[in-house]
Amino acid sequence: MSTLTDTLALAASGMRAQAQRLRHVSENIANADTPGYHRKFIDFRPAAIAGDAFGQESGVTPGPVRLDRGELTRIYDPGHILADETGHYEGSNVDLMVEIADAREAQRSYEANLRMFDQARQMSQSLIGLLRR
Amino acid sequence: MQVSASMAARSYGAARPLTSPEAEAAGSPASAGARLAGDFAQVLQRAETTAQQAMTGDADPHALVASLSEAQLAVETAVAVRDKVVEAYLEILRMPV
């Protein structure tokens, strides 16, 4: 495989990883009001891509899902079925502000990878276009 | 200049190995062309498999787009090379003999 097709595969691995990240963000937002829900997040790690010319881990893959061990918010609602003797129950530890920022960051990284993909494709196309003249 | 029959025969004999076709070496143009065609078929095959998997929901769209772009570039390369070869052939045909 040539370097430019490697670039295509690398950009695709980056886009896949960011899509996975956005998936967990949407999962967190959907469960923002679920009692006892811990925020989920993933970290990225290097991975080999198919047909890697350099024989090393140059792509990216999302790591295993991890749970945020942060403290759950205590919500006062004596009428709630989960409320303890003080009238509080434990909500989720999802911070919507953090999730929205994370989603925006995933979008920007996705766009950057998309731009790289397009760039590599245009470069290959113009290289082959030289033969046609 | 006098040319004897034996000398002419020797000269012809010496010139013959130069014009006779050589045995197929590993790096010969023919085997390189065969390998190129094999690679090309492999890229197209991979694109087709990925497209089928994406239709049935097994592959993600990123893999589909990547392999389809790869196939597109491979086809464009093959078409450009073919055009060049046909052009060269026509050029030879037009050569006044």
Give me the pLDDT at residue A3, please.
Answer: 84
Whole-structure pTM over 0.80, yes or no?
A: no
The predicted structure's pLDDT at residue A81: 87
A90 phi, psi to nearest 5 deg: -90, 120
Q: Is the ipTM of this complex over 0.95?
A: no
Chain B touched by A106 (CB under 8 Å): no
Distance from CA of A28 to the nearest CA of B (A): 22
Q: What is the pLDDT of residues A4-38, one digit of tens each?
A: 888 888 999 999 999 999 999 999 999 999 999 99
A116 touches chain B (CB under 8 A): no
SS3 A85: coil
As a whole number of angstroms, the distance between CA A49 and CA A19 comes to: 17
Residue B67 has pLDDT above 70, yes or no: yes
Tokens of A97: 């502000």
Chain B residues with CB under 8 Å of A132 CB are 80, 83
Look at residue B32 and tell me if it is in a domain. Answer: yes
**Angle of CA points A63, A18, B75, to nearest 5°:** 110
Across the A/B interface, how many CB contacts are shorter than 8 Å?
Answer: 39
Q: Containing H/E element for A59?
A: strand A59-62
pLDDT of A54 reads 63
Residue A72 has pLDDT above 80, yes or no: yes
Cβ contacts of B83 on chain A, cutoff 8 Å:
131-132
